[in-house]
Amino acid sequence: MNTHAPKNYICPICLGVQGVENEQTLIRKQDILYRDDAVMVLIASYFIKGSEGHLIVVPTRHFENIYDLPDEIGARIFSTAKEYAIKMKSAYGCDGVNLLQNNEPAAGQHAFHYHLHLFPRYDGDSLWENMGKKREVSLEERKKFVDLFR
């Protein structure tokens, strides 16, 4: 498939997977909830009002989007997402969980490394109306949510 990543793109998710902590990625080691040879789960660096603390499941190898993602890696991502959706309901006391995955800029993909979002949902939370109102959150605020999974 065609790539949408800009020329000389430095993938912030790959940097996070590699454990690099610098200005080119917001991912920090403390954000990682789970990691194995194929997948990693982390707390998002941006929160959306009413659905704070959403998680992201990524493959540890670089695949730009679902079109390039091998089926066996996709299956691992999905089973891990299910596990963490269940944990999220318990940890956050949310009423439901949305999974969201964007492919290509027209669909809202902004980081050109496959990633699956898990959003905690609460009755009347207005997630879709607030989607454009994301805010970068501090390490301290993210840690509060990470600690709920420990």
Average pLDDT for 109-117? 95
For residue 45, how far is the Cα from the chain centroid?
9
Q: What pLDDT, in 10s, does the model give residues 81-95?
A: 999 999 999 999 999
In a domain, 49, yes or no: yes
Q: Are 76 and 39 in contact (CB under 8 A)?
A: yes
Q: Are 11 and 5 in contact (CB under 8 A)?
A: yes
In a domain, 11, yes or no: no
In a domain, 119, yes or no: yes
Average pLDDT for 70-82? 99
Domain CATH number, residue 97? 3.30.428.10
133: tokens are 């109102």
Domain that residue 119 falls in: 30-147
- Per-residue CA distances from 149 to 31, 99, 122 (Å): 11, 18, 18
Give the pLDDT score at 1.
Answer: 64
In a domain, 71, yes or no: yes
CA separation for the pair 35, 52 (Å, rounded): 22
**2 or 145: which leads in pLDDT:** 145
Give the pLDDT score at 2.
Answer: 76
Q: How many structural domains are present in the chain?
A: 1
